[in-house]
Amino acid sequence: MADAHAKHHDYHLVDPSPWPAVGAASAFVTAIGAVMWFHDSGPWVMLIGLVGVAYTMIAWWRDVINESARGDHTRVVQLHLRYGMIMFIASEVMFFVAWFWAYFDAALYPDAIEQYSRVEALGGVWPPVGIETFDPWHLPLLNTLILLTSGTTVTWAHHALLHGDRNGLKWGLICTVVLGFLFSCVQIFEYTHADFSFGGSIYGATFYMSTGFHGAHVLIGSIFLVVCLFRALAGHFKPDHHFGFEAAAWYWHFVDVVWLFLFAAIYIWGASAAEIY
């Protein structure tokens, strides 16, 4: 009788789960709450939705880890998990393309923005008249070095794992997490000293939307790596079975690459664009 129910394939048939429905409902509450907050109704509904989203992520990924531990993640399943992560990163690329598009649309055609906007005067230049941009060779450069260094430490951790060096894996992850949170602290410090606000101009809106969403991705990636660190300390990862860590490393490298484009386009080119016009 047991042989009749034995699994004779490499695929994983997922058990019934409440998390897709719970996650969708929580995301819907979050979206409605955000709209209410924008209309001065307070952030509480959105925060309730965010708590639901966070709980869904914790519980759902806990189930995925348990599935992996009991051997459900065969080589075929791991391959398709990698495909899923690649598609997710591709969608994130397009997400940031939208913010770059908005930034360059305003930066390359300031006269058109001024012509069709009834409230904003850019002075025909970019950055707009009256905007004092950040010096790209101070805090932005420091953050670039921090993030690039974190990319090397997460690669160190990955190679240590592949070669069975548990101590190197641990310290590589610790260094990456520390550098990730240090990047966030420097960015917060930078924001507190900005000469422009989010709502003050098209420059402020595009600057904060692009760099702010990147900062959110750095924070999420740092938490992702913290989870990987605790899992590594618990002995979860093996040289031939570590998709959770691999996904975190891919995500972190994606964050690195996006920052290089932001640094070049917004901080360096954006600060000197006024000299071009």
For the segment 106-123, the average pLDDT, to the nearest whole number, is 64
- Residue 161's nearest CA partner among 249, 238, 241, 65 is 238
Instruction: Kindly write down the DSSP assignment for every residue of 66-96, as one continuous string.
Output: HHHHTT---HHHHHHHHHHHHHHHHHHHHHH
- The verdict on pTM exceeding 0.75 is yes
Structural domains present in the chain: 1-72 (1.10.287.70), 73-276 (1.20.120.80)
Residue with tokens 């992850």: 173
pLDDT of 2 higher than 80: no
C-beta of residue 63 within 8 angstroms of C-beta of residue 17: yes
**Interval 30-41: pLDDT, tens:** 999 999 998 988
Distance from chain centroid for Cα 249? 12
CA 219 to chain centre: 7
pLDDT higher than 80, residue 3: no
Do residues 96 and 244 make contact, with C-beta atoms less than 8 angstroms apart? no
Q: Residue 117's pLDDT is what?
A: 56
- Out of 4-8, 77-81, 192-196, 258-262, pick the least confident: 4-8
Structure tokens at 258: 């996006």
pLDDT attached to residue 1: 46
- 238 DSSP β-pair partners: 241
Render the burial of 177-199: b for 16+ CB within 10 Å, e for the rest. bebbbbbbebbeebeeeeebeee
Three-class DSSP category at 17? coil
Alpha-carbon distances, residue 31 vs 27, 71, 92 (angstroms): 6, 37, 19
Instruction: Return all residues near 21 (Cβ < 8 A) that are at least 6 apart.
Output: none
SS3 210: helix
**pLDDT tens for each residue of 72-85:** 888 888 899 999 99
